[in-house]
Amino acid sequence: MAPNLLLAASAAILAFLGCAHLVLTYRGPKLRPRDPAVAEAMAGSAPVITRQTDIWRMWIGFNASHSMGAMLFGLVYGYLALVEGDLLFDSLFLQAVGVILLAGFTILAKLYWFITPFAASAVALLLYCTALAWAWAS
């Protein structure tokens, strides 16, 4: 049961990050540019691919969908760890997908984001890998 709880804790971290990111996308100034002129320029500029939207709306949409992806990982892997542990720990595919996603978040956080999502993603990856190692050793 301990590997299941470690993996569920890993999933909970991602779910929390996703929820917090979604809230910050729509509430308060945390994910807005410090310079209001940047947001105005983004709102006044369409991407090359289409004129049906602008860069600001794309920014909001990308942040929201990014949040949803983290929440989905947390919900699915948390559920698998706590309710369908045998399915998860017997599937190398599901295990690999989890490692790849968590490693990807951790790398992106290191390269492009800031210390809080990097540290949280790294802890989630460590918990996940520890859970797998423990399960494989059993």
pLDDT at residue 7 in the model: 97
Q: Please state, in angstroms and rounded to a whole number, the distance separating the CA atoms of residues 52 and 48.
A: 10
Q: What is the pLDDT of residue 125?
A: 98
Tell me the residue length of the chain.
138
Question: In Å, what is the CA distance from 88 to each residue of 3, 12, 95, 114?
Answer: 11, 16, 7, 31
Please report the pLDDT score of residue 88 as a whole number. Answer: 97
pLDDT band per the 50, 70, 90 thresholds, residue 33: very high
The whole-model pTM stands at 0.90
Q: What is the pLDDT of residue 53?
A: 96
pLDDT, mean of residues 6-33: 96
pLDDT bin (cut points 50, 70, 90) of residue 1 is: confident
**Residue 107: pLDDT above 90?**
yes
Q: What are the boundaries of each domain within the chain? A: 2-137
- Cα dihedral 90, 129, 1, 118 sign: negative
Type of residue at 138: S
Query: 48 and 111 in contact (C-beta within 8 Å)?
Result: no
